[in-house]
Structure 1
Amino acid sequence: MILQVQQLSVKRGSNSVLHDLNFSLLKGAIVAITGPSGSGKTTLLEALSGKLFYSGTIHLEEGVKLALVAQQHQFRNLSHTDTFYYQQRFNSFDADDALTVEAELPQLFATDTDERMQNIRILFGLDTLLHRRLLHLSNGENKRLQLAKALMDAPGILLLDNPFTGLDTAARVVLEESLVHLASEGLTILFSCAASKVPAMAQLVLALDGKGGGQLLPAETYRATYRMQVPQLNAALLQQLLPGHAISDFTMAVRMVDVNVRYGDKQVLQHINWEVRRGERWSLSGPNGAGKSTLLSLITADNPQAYANEIYLFDRRRGSGETIWDIKKNIGFVSPELHLNFDKTSTVSDTVASGLFDTIGLFRPVTESQRKNVKDWLQLLSLDVYANKLLWQMPLGTQRLVLLARALVKQPPLLVLDEPLQGLDEQQAAQFRAIIDAICSHTQQTMIFVSHYTEDLPEAVTFHLKLEEGKVIAHV
C-alpha cells in the first residue's frame, strides 16, 4: 500500500470535521473524494499534505512524497507580495507587476533542464505560455501551471482540490487525459469533486458523509447508488423579499457597439456588439481565455478600457459623467475569486451587508431594516447559522453561497453571476437555481449567467452569447 490512513480525525476550531476515517490505496490509484459542503474534502487533502494538525495515523510507503494543488492559488508579484486588488488584472499598467510563467518556473525553461522537466513542460503545453503574466492566465492555463509546479518535485501522490472547477469542456478533457497518463506511470492521485460530477477516470470514490466519516467504494458502485436530495425552497420567505425587486426605468441594461480590448500584443475582445434588454436573462459561455471575464469587467465598472469604447449601461454611455458607484449600485455581482478579496475579520453577516454598499467589506453602519434584510437572505439560503462566523473559516462552498446572498441582498436590477455555482455542492446549487428561477418568474429581473456547464443554467435563461478567442461566435 502506498498510503494507509487509520482513525484520522481533524478539528477546525471546536468543530470536528473528520472522525476515525480509515482507508488504504495502492500505487497508481485514481480516487475521487466527494461529499456535501463542509464534509471535509479540502480538510482531508490538507491533513494528508501535512498542512493541518490531526490525530490518527497517515502512513506512506518509504520515500514517497506528496504534493497538494489547492483550488485557489495566490501567487506573488514582482514586489514579493500577494496583495493584488480585484480589478488589477484588467488594468494594463498594474498587471505588469505580476510575474511571467517563465519567471515563476525558471527550472522548467532552463537550457540545461533534464528530460523529466522537459516532459512536464511538454505534457502541460507550457511553451505557449512562456511570456504570459500570471495575472492574465485563464483558469485552465493556471491549473496547468500549478500541476507542472507540483510535479517538479517528483511526488508519488498528487492531491488536487477540485481540479476541474472553472475549466471548460476541452480543458477538462486535456486535464483528465494528462492525469490518466501520470497514473499509468505510477502516480497515485486523490482529487475532490462534486458528487454528481465524478469523471470517468476515477477508479475509486471516497464518499464523505458530512458526519466525520466516509466510505471507499468502486467508482461504478458509487455512480449506480448516488442520489441527490433536492432541498425545499422557503417560498413564503422569498415572497416577502420580492416586493419592489428590480424596479427600474431603463430600457437597455447593456449595449456594446464594436467593442475592442487589447493588452499589449494580445487582442482580448474583438468587435463585440451586444444588447441586453431589461428583463432578459442571458448565458455567457466560451472556453477558458475566450474573454468572458474581460467582457463582464466592462459591465461591472472594473475595467478602464470601457472609456475607450462605445458602451451604454442602463441607457447611459460610459464616460458621460457617471461614477463607478452609479453603475455598481444597479448590479449584483459574484465571481469565483471574489471571496479572496475580503479581510479575514469579515463575518458572514457583514459580508452580505457589504453588498448593500458595493464595497469589499463593511465600512459603514447598517440600519435595523438593512440588518433584517441581511438576516432574511441568510435564512433563505440556509446560512443564518453562520451569521457571526468569520467568512474565511467557512467551507469554500459556503463562502461562495454567502457571496451569492451578497449579490441578491440589495435587489439589483441586473445580476452578473460569473460561475456562481462553482464550489457549491449539489444541494446548494439546486437551491440557488430555484431561488433565481423564482425571482425571475415574479419580477423583471435582468441577468447575465456564466457557466461551463449547460446543466447549471437556471430555467429562466433564454438568451445565449458564446465567445471564442475574443469574438462572438453564437448569439441567440
Structure 2
Amino acid sequence: MQLLFSIKNATVKMLGNTIFTDLNFNIGKGQHWAIVGESGSGKSALLQTIAGNLNATGGIISYPFFDEYLIEHPEQRGYITHHKLIALVEPRHHFRNLSNTTEFYYQQRYNSSDSEDALTVEQYLDTIKPLTGSNSYWTREKIISVLKLENLMHKQLIKLSNGEGKRLRMAAALMKNPVLLLLDSPLTGLDVDTRNHFNEIISEIAASGITIIMATSPYEMPDVITNVAVLKNGSISSQMKKSEFNAERSAIVKNTTIANNEIQALLNLRSIEPYQQIVSMKQVAIKYGENVVLNNVNWEVKQGERWALLGHNGAGKSTLLSLINGDNPQAYANHIILFDRKRGSGESIWDIKKKTGFVSPELHQYFPTDNSCLQVIESGYYDTLGLFRPSNPKQADNALRWMKALEIDQYARVLLKNIPASAQRLCLLARALIKNPPLLIFDEPCQGMDEHQISHFKKLVDTICSLSNVTLIYVTHYQHEIPDSVTKVLKLEKGEVVGY
C-alpha cells in the first residue's frame, strides 16, 4: 500500500491537555476513511492533527503525498508546504466581515443595513485562490454547479442557512483541489435530499483523485468510504474495512434514565404564566430586496402545544423562528401576536426573550466561548450571550442541577470553547431550559450528538412536556430525533406553508 499520510507513536496536546497518547494512524492511496465514536472521543481532534493544527510530539508524522507532489511539480519546491494540499471543512464557519476586523453577531443576518457588511457568496469565492499547478478538475464553474450554488451567488454570507453555509464551505475546500479532504460532521444539518445528493458529490470527489477522511455518525457513511476507524476515550480502539463494520455492534449502549422528581423540582422554581395565544401569524411575508423568504404564512400555536417545524434547507424555517424569538425587525410590518400581545404594541425584544428558551445552530455559531459552562447556562436567566455580571450562587446552583440532568456537570468549571461541540450544544440547551420559559424553541438541537445523547435529550424533553404546560417548537431534518411529545407539524417549502 502506498502511504499518503502516517503518524506513529505520537502524543497530541491541545491547550495543555493531552488528547492522544501513542497515536498511530495511516492513510493509504485509494482509501477513504470514516472516523466514528461517541461524543468527546476525539474525532475532530484527529482531523485537526492530520491537518497539522494540533501540536504532536514524541512520534513521527510524515506526508508522503507531498513528496510525490513535489516530484510532479518541482517548480513549487520551497514555495509551498504540505498544509496547502490539505483542506479541512469544520462544523463552524469562520467568515469575516468586509472590514476583516470584527466578527459577525447573531442578529446581524436579519438586519438589512448591517448584513450589507458581509461578502456575498460570489465575492467570497473570489477570495479563494486555487493552488497554481494543482489538479484543476474542480473548477469554480463545476463546483458552483455540483454544489448547487447558482441561486446563492448574490446572497450575503450572514444570510445563508445552516445547510447553505455548509455547502459553501465545501465549495471553498474543493476550489483548492486538495490531495486530502478532511470533513468534520459534513452531513449534520442537511435535509434528506441534500444528504442523498451529498453521497453523489463525495463519490465524484473521490473519483477525481482526492482522498477523503470524514468524522461522521456510524449510521451515515457515503458509499465511497472504504475504511473505518473507531475512536474511544482518546485513542483509536479499532480499524477495519467498511465491509467489516457493524454500526449497531459499535454503538455505545447506556441506560437512559431521567430523575423525574429532580426535573419537577427544577420546573417548580418558576411557574409558567397562562396565555391564550403563544404565537399567531396572519399572512406573514418577509422579503429582502426582491428575494421573498416567507410568503402568506398563517400559523397559530396555543399554549401547551408541541410542534415540529419541518422543511428543506433554505425553506424559511430560521427566518420564521426569528420572528417569534424577537430577532427580526420585519415582525413589526406583519400581523404577529406573541404571548397575547401584538408585535409593535410597545413590548421590547427582552419582553419576548424572557418568555422564550431558544437554541439553534446559528446561536451556537455566534455564542462567545470564553465563559465557563456554568456561566453560559446562568446567562439564560438574563437572555444575554454570556454572563456579564457577578454570578448569583443560587442561580449557579440551579445551572449545575440542569447540567447534571443533561449529563454534562463534569464540564461546569471548564470554558465552553474547551469542551466537545456536542457538550457545547447541551450547555446552550441547559441555558434555554434554566428559566422554565413558556415557550421552548429548539432548532436542530441534536446536531453533533451521539446516539446516547440524542436518546437522553429526547427523554428529557418528553419528561419536561409531561410535567409542565410548556409550549414547544422543534426543528430537525431527522425524523428519529423528534420527541414523542410532539403531536403537531408545520411544513414549509420555499417560504410557504405546504402542510399542517
* Residue identity in the other structure for 1:396: A
Q: Which runs of 5+ in 2 are unaligned?
A: 70-81, 131-135
Residue number among 337, 357, 364 corresponding to 2:389 in the alignment:
364
Once the two structures are TM-superposed, the CA of residue 96 in structure 1 deviates from its matched residue by 1.1
Question: Is residue 227 from structure 1 mapped to residue 251 from structure 2 by the alignment?
Answer: yes
Separation in structure 1 between the aligned mates of residue 344 and residue 315 of structure 2, nearest angstrom: 26
Matched, 1:208 2:231: yes
Q: 2:358 aligns to what SS in structure 1?
A: strand
Q: Partner of 1:313 in structure 2?
A: 338
Q: Find out whether 1:409 has 2:434 as its counterpart.
A: yes
Equivalent residue, structure 1, for 2:190: 167
**How many angstroms apart in 1 are the aligned matches of 2:22 and 2:474?**
41
1:142-167 Cα deviation digits (max 9, x unpaired)? 22222221122221110011111111
Structure-1-length-normalised TM-score: 0.94
Match of 1:130 in 2: 153
Q: Structure 1 residues 245 and 207 mapped into 2: Cα distance closer, same or farther (>3 Å)? A: farther
Structure 2 residue aligned with 1:35: 37
Q: Distance in 2 between matches of 1:72 and 1:109?
A: 21
1:100 paired with 2:130, answer no
The CA RMSD measured in Å over matched residues stands at 2.1
State the match for 1:25 in structure 2: 27
Partner residue in 2 for 1:185:
208
Q: Which runs of 4+ in 1 moved over 4 A?
A: 107-110
Residues 340 and 122 of structure 1, relative CA distance in 2, 3 Å threshold:
closer
Distance 2:87 2:272 in 1: 51
- For residues 299-448 of structure 1, the aligned pairs below 5 Å read 299-448=324-473
- 1:126-182 CA-to-partner distances (Å, cap 9, x unmatched) read 333222211122233222222221122221110011111111111112222111111
State the Cα distance separating 1:201 from its structure 2 match. 3.8
Moved more, 445-454 or 222-231: 222-231
Shift of 1:314: 0.8
Letter in 2 for 1:83: E
Tell me how far apart the structure 2 counterparts of residues 302 and 370 of structure 1 sit (CA, whole Å).
Answer: 26
Q: Is the 8 A contact 1:29 1:183 kept in 2?
A: no
Q: Is the 8 A contact 2:137 2:208 kept in 1?
A: no
Q: 1:60 to 1:108 in 2, by over 3 A?
A: closer
CA contact (8 A) 1:8 1:19 kept: yes
After TM superposition, the structure 1 stretch with the greater mean CA deviation from structure 2, 404-413 or 229-238, is: 229-238
Structure 2 counterpart SS, 1:278:
coil
Specify the code of the residue in structure 1 equivalent to 2:34.
A
TM-score (norm 2): 0.90
In 1, the alpha carbon distance for the partners of 2:355 and 2:479 equals 27
Deviates more, 1:75-84 or 1:122-131: 122-131
Contact 1:140 1:288 in 2 (8 A): yes
Which of 48, 69, 79 is matched with 2:89 structurally?
A: 69
Q: CA deviation at 1:367?
A: 3.2
Given that 1:465 and 1:472 are in contact with CA atoms closer than 8 Å, whether structure 2 keeps it comes out as yes
- Give 1:253 deviation, angstroms: 0.8
Match for residue 16 of structure 1 among 15, 18, 23: 18
Structure 1: gaps spanning 5 or more residues:
none
What is the distance in 2 between the residues matched to 1:107 and 1:342?
26
Q: Which stretch shows the higher mean deviation, 263-272 or 100-109?
A: 100-109
**C-alpha contact 1:6 1:21 (8 A) present in aligned 2:** yes
What do residues 338-389 of structure 1 show as CA deviations (whole Å, max 9, x unaligned)? Answer: 2343334311000000001111111233433222211211111122221111
Rounded Cα–Cα distance in structure 2 between residues aligned with 1:455 and 1:200: 22
Percent same amino acid among aligned pairs? 45
- Structure-1 residue corresponding to 2:100: 80
State which of 195, 204, 217 in structure 1 corresponds to 2:240.
Answer: 217
